[in-house]
Amino acid sequence: MLKGFKSFVMRGDIVTVAVGLIIALALSTLIKAFTDFIINPVIARAQGGHSMGLGWQLGRAGNKNTYLDLGSFLSAAVYFLIFMAVVYFVIVVPYKHVQARRGIVVFADPGPLKTCPACLSEDLPAAALKCRYCGSEQPPSAAPGGRPAPGTL
């Protein structure tokens, strides 16, 4: 039972989705702070107030709705950066290490890409022989250093 649970949890797509959800949660916090403390005061400026902190009062002194609170926004930005660092060093790095020991590469840089001359799709793998979108034959890619790719001449 535990072996099956470990296999389920260690699937690459499960961890990728979990990391994506965590990043979305942190990004939503940053966006909420931006809207609550930057955008909302600018909009509320049309109504008419005083607050302490890092920021500017856009309207009448004392009106919290028109206070441009940069301190709260910077706090949310720092929170976002710290949260992402924790996610990376506590989840992603150990997961990459465990998967590398299993012979699986995760969170790797994408390989070289080329553009299809027929449909101009720019995301074809460099070794592709046919376009995944239009099905046209692809010219062989040159290997690094300007030499023809192996198996072509």
Task: Write out the two tokens for 132.
Answer: 């995944």
Alpha carbon distance 113, 14 (integer Å): 26
Helix (H, G, I), strand (E, B) or coil at 75: helix
Checking if the pLDDT of 50 tops 60, the result is no
Kindly indicate the confidence band of residue 130, based on its pLDDT and cuts at 50, 70 and 90. Answer: very high
H/E stretch holding 114 reads: strand 113-114
Minimum mean pLDDT range among 4-8, 69-73, 82-86, 132-136: 69-73
H/E stretch holding 80 reads: helix 70-87
Alpha carbon distance 51, 68 (integer Å): 10
pTM of the model: 0.55
HEC-encoded secondary structure of 17-74? HHHHHHHHHHHHHHHHHHHHHHHHHHHHCCCCCCCCCCEEECCCCCCHHHEEEHHHHH
Kindly indicate the confidence band of residue 45, based on its pLDDT and cuts at 50, 70 and 90. Answer: low
pLDDT digits (tens, 9 = 90+) for 71-117: 778 778 888 888 888 888 888 888 889 888 988 888 887 788 899 99
Average pLDDT, stretch 37-55? 64
- 25: Cα separation from own chain's centroid: 12
